[in-house]
Amino acid sequence: MNAPDGRWNQQAQSRTRRVARAVAALGHGLEGKHVASEDTTKLLTAVLEPGDRVCLEGNNQKQADFLARALTQLDPSQVHDLHMVQSVLALPEHLDLFENGIASKLDFSFSGPQSARLAKMVAAGQIQIGAIHTYLELFARYFVDLTPRVSLVCAQSADAQGNLYTGANTEDTPAIVEATAFKSGIVIVQVNEMVEHLPRVDIPGDWVDFVILAPKPNLIEPLFTRDPAQISEIQVLMAMMAIKGIYAEYGVQRLNHGIGFDTAAIELLLPTYAESLGLKGKICKHWALNPHPALIPAIEAGWVESVHSFGSELGMENYIKQRSDVFFTGADGSMRSNRAMCQAAGHYACDMFIGSTLQIDLNGHSSTATQGRIAGFGGAPNMGADARGRRHATPAWLKAGAQAREGRSGVHAMPRGQKLVVQIVETFREHMQPAFVEKLDAWALAEQAKMEIPPVMIYGDDVTHILTEEGIANLLLCRGDEEREQAIRGVAGFTPVGLARDKRMVENLRDRGVIQRAEDIGIDKRDATRSLLAARTMRDLVRASGGLYNPPKRFRNW
């Protein structure tokens, strides 16, 4: 040792001690890196220390569910005050940890199904939240000041050396393991199978310390499957307006779509409506997108050149394998997704993001935060934000930038592009909840949960267009807050916000093309029927894929 007092390698020494404790505790139960599943608690107790920063792989889709359950079984008198860092809180176990006194602090990105319980536990003082991040932000902090001491991850298969195959849903695993393994941390993985030869190596074995064969395959959610049968005529209309009024207008070639029926409708109109407008080859060639089943007809019709994905989608495995020109796949043929890389791609290399939201205020700030829930936003803020570090030019980016700068002087006179950030919403959601509000619920939630800033998903100054069934508001063309407000009111329909519009000013904005109605861009609303969809059912998607897409059973109504 070069430093006799251990001053410069305490982490490495700690790591050595922890591994030694594990070896002692497991005895013959440890074969190489392989730990029997029934020894999981023993292993975790041996390697964890109170106050450790722990990353429990909880992703958007796949979950290290066996390790999550095992972690909740530990004795809180031995293991307590863990600081959990993980992108998604999806399982009840993720919160049980805090209830059981095993963990106390949390840094995360998204809590979807657990958002209501999380809010209650925060209010009761059971959880101390560090911050709610975007995905990219949280991954970045893994490499700065939130580096895990111990990571509990999941993979499809492992070999005897601990090499891992993460399968199509690689998701967060590389980012987590890299941060942990290269900062003297310990990586423990649950796998669905032990094999002699992996199809490919996604994580090298010498980054992995312990491998556990889980009794059941890890949980995985088909989050991105939208049944075309549920797409409404209104959504078809809005998709037509998006394609003709925005995609064609800017020549958008590289883009990301949020999850939802609105965007699924757009994907399903590409080979039909967009084709009839002669747009093939002119829009939508390159995507940062999960393998949405709704994109199959467009891919089959030759619209799509490339798709890089955050994660995979259940049932799409064979289809992806057979379309390796489009998707990123390994030599073995299966998809390699990577959430961190795709988030970066979506942020820097895409010209447009389009997605839905729950509330938009008069400045165009939008949020899906509602009172009584602490949900976070996952990746949407990375996708739905202008990449101010961007320097490469494309026609769509330049045109948006030029519109924003036209007639402006001083610092705004410098030629520069801008990302198109489109919010697509119906003016009323179900149960007549207005999508346009004077004040976002996010303010009340911030106060309730004592947050430093209101949880805004997409900031108004990043939003370039708001598209509703009433029309498209192009905020790039607005000059001044008042115009911006009236442009938003002018597409807010019969919501109180919309009814309070200044009619004369809205008509002025319409004359200037700041607001465009369907008829202004040559769309007859009566043409907006479901028959325009390239697939109207899940079955149609299977047919379009030539039988390669195999939807999960809950989507099979035939």
Cα gap 319→219, rounded to integer Å: 21
Which residues on neighbouring strands pair with residue 395, listed in sequence order? none
Please, what is the minimum distance in Å from the beta carbon of residue 537 to other proteins?
Answer: 8
Identify the helix (H) or strand (E) that includes residue 237: helix 233-242
Amino acid (one-letter) located at 531: S
Please, what is the minimum distance in Å from the beta carbon of residue 329 to other proteins?
Answer: 24
Cα gap 99→86, rounded to integer Å: 17
Beta strands 471-474; 515-516: pairing state? antiparallel
For 378-534, where are the alpha helices, taking DSSP H only?
A: 380-383, 395-405, 441-448, 481-489, 496-499, 503-511
| Of the candidates 328, 295, 537, 542, the residue with the CA atom closest to the CA atom of residue 320 | 328
Please, what is the minimum distance in Å from the beta carbon of residue 317 to other proteins?
Answer: 16
For other proteins, the closer of residues 212 and 548 by Cβ is 548
For other proteins, the closer of residues 229 and 402 by Cβ is 229
Burial 54-74 (b: 16+ CB within 10 A, else e): bbbbbbbbbbbbbbbebbbeb
Please, what is the minimum distance in Å from the beta carbon of residue 225 to other proteins?
Answer: 12
Q: Are 202 and 164 in contact (CB under 8 A)?
A: yes
Q: Is 420 left (phi over 0), alpha (psi -120 to 50) or beta?
A: beta
- Coil/strand/helix, residue 262: helix
Please, what is the minimum distance in Å from the beta carbon of residue 528 to other proteins?
Answer: 8
Please, what is the minimum distance in Å from the beta carbon of residue 423 to other proteins?
Answer: 16
Cα gap 72→549, rounded to integer Å: 37
Identify the helix (H) or strand (E) that includes residue 121: helix 115-123
For other proteins, the closer of residues 14 and 537 by Cβ is 537
Please, what is the minimum distance in Å from the beta carbon of residue 391 to other proteins?
Answer: 41
For other proteins, the closer of residues 231 and 340 by Cβ is 231
Cα gap 265→297, rounded to integer Å: 12
For other proteins, the closer of residues 148 and 228 by Cβ is 228
Please, what is the minimum distance in Å from the beta carbon of residue 298 to other proteins?
Answer: 17
Structure tokens at 423: 């919010």
Which residues on neighbouring strands pair with residue 241, listed in sequence order? none
For other proteins, the closer of residues 240 and 400 by Cβ is 240
For other proteins, the closer of residues 21 and 525 by Cβ is 525
Q: Are 45 and 76 in contact (CB under 8 A)?
A: no
Give the chain's largest Cα–Cα span. 82
For other proteins, the closer of residues 57 and 469 by Cβ is 469
Q: Are 37 and 144 in contact (CB under 8 A)?
A: no
Q: Are 192 and 165 in contact (CB under 8 A)?
A: no
Please, what is the minimum distance in Å from the beta carbon of residue 336 to other proteins?
Answer: 28
Please, what is the minimum distance in Å from the beta carbon of residue 227 to other proteins?
Answer: 10
Amino acid (one-letter) located at 227: D
- Residues near other proteins (CB under 8 A) are 229, 232-234, 237, 426-432, 469-470, 493-494, 499, 525-527, 529-531, 536-537, 542, 547, 553-558
Please, what is the minimum distance in Å from the beta carbon of residue 275 to other proteins?
Answer: 14
- Coil/strand/helix, residue 472: strand
For other proteins, the closer of residues 191 and 544 by Cβ is 544
For other proteins, the closer of residues 8 and 494 by Cβ is 494
Please, what is the minimum distance in Å from the beta carbon of residue 272 to other proteins?
Answer: 9
Structure tokens at 487: 């442009």
Amino acid (one-letter) located at 408: R
- Three-state SS for 339-403 is HHHHHHHHHHCCCEEEECCCEECCCCCEECCCCCCCCECCCHHHHCCCCCCCCCCCHHHHHHHHH
For other proteins, the closer of residues 232 and 363 by Cβ is 232
| Of the candidates 306, 252, 258, 289, the residue with the CA atom closest to the CA atom of residue 274 | 252
Please, what is the minimum distance in Å from the beta carbon of residue 494 to other proteins?
Answer: 4
For other proteins, the closer of residues 455 and 493 by Cβ is 493
Cα gap 486→483, rounded to integer Å: 5
Structure tokens at 25: 């505790």
Find the length of the chain: 558
Please, what is the minimum distance in Å from the beta carbon of residue 12 to other proteins?
Answer: 49
CA angle 98, 99, 101 (to 5 degrees): 65
Return the DSSP state at 274. I
